């Protein structure tokens, strides 16, 4: 039987809307509670260096306030390492970060940054935090992630979501390679109701992390319905 695919709901953009007015509404914590009720398997939040959406207080509240495991997305910096070690989320996903970017654009250069990433992976793992590396589905990056000792890789689905030719085949091959190296394989970025099916059908994937589309769609059909429908599409793709 095919494994059930987990859904991690990224709630960053609840904070984006809140920050547009600088108050406390809408609350990311409340969104996380609703996501839990709607069948999410985990909550993902990215504490960016510029704090453009999630704040330090949000992370503190999420770590203690939710029943689901928290996946903290973080840049590979000393500041973020210290924050992760302080809060000890269930998981940390290391992402590349450029201040001028609108969202995480490329994957992490695990191969080129080996010496910078190795101690970070070791410190996080030593604190009992499950580390994942957000990388392109490129064999060199996947092999280096395995050598770095990260137990999980998250494959960047952005090129697939943008309709890049051959991107789905690269995801399928990347997921198979990562799984063969003993890695748990996640995927995410740019997934929507329309494009999630082909990714969810990749048998080697264990988890998808989805944010922007779910929060945007929640404006029209509500957060629980948005998450519930995504869950249903993932389950149908797996069952097919």
Contact set with ligand PXP (CB under 6 A) = 10, 12, 46, 73, 93, 95, 103-104, 134, 154, 188-191, 209-213
- Comparison of 14 and 177: residue with beta carbon closer to ligand PXP: 14
- Comparison of 1 and 50: residue with beta carbon closer to ligand PXP: 50
Radius of gyration from C-alpha coordinates of the chain: 17
Neighbours of 66 (CB within 10 A): 19
Is there a catalytic annotation at residue 53?
Answer: no
Is there a catalytic annotation at residue 46?
Answer: yes
Task: Determine the length of the chain.
Answer: 240
Cβ 57 to ligand PXP shortest distance, Å: 19
**Residue pair 44/211 in contact by the 8 Å Cβ criterion:** yes
Please list, in sequence order, all residues whose beta carbon lies within 8 angstroms of the beta carbon of residue 23, skipping any fewer than 6 positions away. none
Cβ 211 to ligand PXP shortest distance, Å: 3
Phi/psi of residue 35, nearest 5 degrees = -60, -40
- Comparison of 1 and 46: residue with beta carbon closer to ligand PXP: 46
* Active-site entry in 46, 53, 87, 186: 46
- Comparison of 1 and 220: residue with beta carbon closer to ligand PXP: 220
* Active-site entry in 53, 156, 186, 189: 189
Q: Which helix (H) or strand (E) holds 59?
A: helix 56-65
Cβ 1 to ligand PXP shortest distance, Å: 27
Structure tokens at 92: 């940390």
* Active-site entry in 13, 73, 172, 207: 73
Cβ 32 to ligand PXP shortest distance, Å: 15
Separation of alpha carbons 153 and 150, rounded Å: 7
**Residue pair 45/54 in contact by the 8 Å Cβ criterion:** yes
Active-site amino acid positions: 46, 73, 189
């Amino acid at each position: 039987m095919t494994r059930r695919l987990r859904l991690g709901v990224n709630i960053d953009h609840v904070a984006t809307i809140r920050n547009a007015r600088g108050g406390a509404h809408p609350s990311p914590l409340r969104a996380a509670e609703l996501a839990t009720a709607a069948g999410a398997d985990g909550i993902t939040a990215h504490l960016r260096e510029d704090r453009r959406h999630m704040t330090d207080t949000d992370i503190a509240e999420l770590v203690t306030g939710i029943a689901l495991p928290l996946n903290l997305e973080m840049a590979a910096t000393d500041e973020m390492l210290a924050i992760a070690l302080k809060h000890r989320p269930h998981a940390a996903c290391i992402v590349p970060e450029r201040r001028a970017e609108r969202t995480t654009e490329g994957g992490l250069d695990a191969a080129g940054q080996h010496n910078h990433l190795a101690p970070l992976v070791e410190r996080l793992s030593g604190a009992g935090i499950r580390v994942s590396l957000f990388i392109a589905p490129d064999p060199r990056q996947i092999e280096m992630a395995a050598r770095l000792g990260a137990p999980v890789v998250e494959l960047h689905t952005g090129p697939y979501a943008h309709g890049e030719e051959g991107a789905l085949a690269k995801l399928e091959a990347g997921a198979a390679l990562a799984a063969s190296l003993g890695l748990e394989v996640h995927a995410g970025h740019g997934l929507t109701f329309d494009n999630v099916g082909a990714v969810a059908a990749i048998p080697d994937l264990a988890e998808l992390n989805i944010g922007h589309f779910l929060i945007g769609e929640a404006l029209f059909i509500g957060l629980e319905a948005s998450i519930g429908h995504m869950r249903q599409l993932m389950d149908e793709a797996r069952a097919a």
